Structures are given as C-alpha cells and as structure tokens.
Amino acid sequence: MKLICIGRNYTDHIKELENEKPTDPVVFLKPDTAILLKKQPFFIPDFSEDVHHEVEVLVKINKVGKHIAKKFAHKYYDEIGLGIDFTARDLQAKLKEKGLPWEKAKAFDGAAVVGNWMSKSNIDNVNNISFSLEKNGEVVQTGNTSHMLWKIDELIEYISKYFTLKIGDIIFTGTPAGVGRVNAEDKLVGFIENKQMFSITVK
C-alpha cells in the first residue's frame, strides 16, 4: 500500500510557510515503511533539528480505481481518519532550495502517524469535519475540511489521474495552520470533533 500526501491544501498554512497558492494540488508519496507502528513513540531522527507536526484528515481507499470522476469518488472510501505528516522542516528547506524531491524530509521511518478510523456513515458531511491537535494539553492546530482548496472527492479525481488507487491506500489531505516543532517528551493527541483519534509520545 502507499500513502498519498497533499501539500498546501489550506490557504492559512500556505501563508504560514510563505508558499505560493498552487494551481494544482501538490502531491507526494510516502512508502508503507513511514507508518509509525501502533503504540510506538515517535523518535526524532538524528538528521533533523526541526521536525514539525502536521495534523491531517486521512481517507482510506476501499476499492481499486483509476481515472475516478469526482462524482463517483465517494464510492472509493468509507472510512475517515486522522494522522500526522511529520516533516523535517530544516531538511525540507534545503531540498526545496535546490529543487530536489522532498522524500528524505517526509518519507522517513515513522513519519506517518495513522490514527483510528471512523466510518463515513457516522459523519454528516465529509466536507465539514472539524479536527485538532493538542501538544502537551494545549491546542496547537485546528482545522475544518470545509477550508480545503481541493475537497476529498476532488483530490481522489486528481490523484487517480496519475496513480492507480488500491485497497488500503491512505490519502493525507493536507494540514491547516499551526504546524510547529516537536521536542522529546512531547505528547501529541489528535481529535476529530471531540473524539480522540491518536495519542503519541515524542522521544
């Protein structure tokens, strides 16, 4: 399986990193080895001094598809989750400066937190999901999927032009503002509405 990640999908986060608003979604992949194993702490890698949390709504693909039209996209997922796209911001900045791919900064072991899943049938509207991240008990990121530049079904249409989507693939739909550095002993807890979706410790 693969993790398909979307960058710059919330205008407030684009402003925060002083990036230009894209005309197409920014897409990158993480391998399955990037998934942080359940109940394991996240270890800050020794090649970075500035790893950031990016809390993101996740979509789990339940059917094989390619060239999926937006109007049929809703048939390709029935579970929504929450996760973190950990990013070695210092390394990413160096790579971006040189025009090089981001993988070393985003696809390293443990860089993808995949929390619990909830059935889409328990969600009124996937385009109006509130979510948040707490760091050491303090809310550091809040978002709502209504603020996405490309909504979930549009992302599925776009991504599936390039990659065949397979059962179990996970889409990371982008982060809202509030990204920030993590330090050893931090505790990160993610919520959809008031429901806890993951809790991890940083080492």
31-47 burial string, b = 16+ CB within 10 Å, else e? eeebbbeeeeebebbee
Q: Which one among 110, 175, 176, 179 touches Zn ion, defined by CB under 5 A?
A: 175
Which is nearer to Zn ion, 141 or 160 (by Cβ)?
141
Which is nearer to Zn ion, 78 or 180 (by Cβ)?
180
Structure tokens at 102: 């981001």
Segment lying near Zn ion (by CB under 5 A), choices 49-57, 138-146, 147-155, 181-189: 49-57
17-36: contacts with Zn ion (CB under 5 A): none
Which is nearer to Zn ion, 14 or 44 (by Cβ)?
14
Segment lying near Zn ion (by CB under 5 A), choices 20-28, 73-81, 175-183, 189-197: 175-183
Kind and range of the H or E run holding 124: none
Bridge pairing between strands 195-201 and 77-85:
unpaired
Binding track over 58-97 against Zn ion, x by CB under 5 A: ---------------------------x------------
173 part of the interface to Zn ion, by CB under 5 A = no
Q: Give bridge partners of residue 118 from the DSSP assignment.
A: 80
Q: How far is CA 107 from the centre of its chain?
A: 12
Torsion of CA 85, 53, 122, 125, to 10 degrees: -90
Segment lying near Zn ion (by CB under 5 A), choices 42-50, 53-61, 111-119, 127-135: 53-61
Binding track over 131-170 against Zn ion, x by CB under 5 A: ----------------------------------------
* Distance (Å, whole) CA 198 – CA 4: 20
176 part of the interface to Zn ion, by CB under 5 A = no
Q: How far is CA 196 from the centre of its chain?
A: 16
Number of C-beta neighbours around residue 161 at 10 A:
9
Residues that bind Zn ion (CB under 5 A): 54, 85, 175
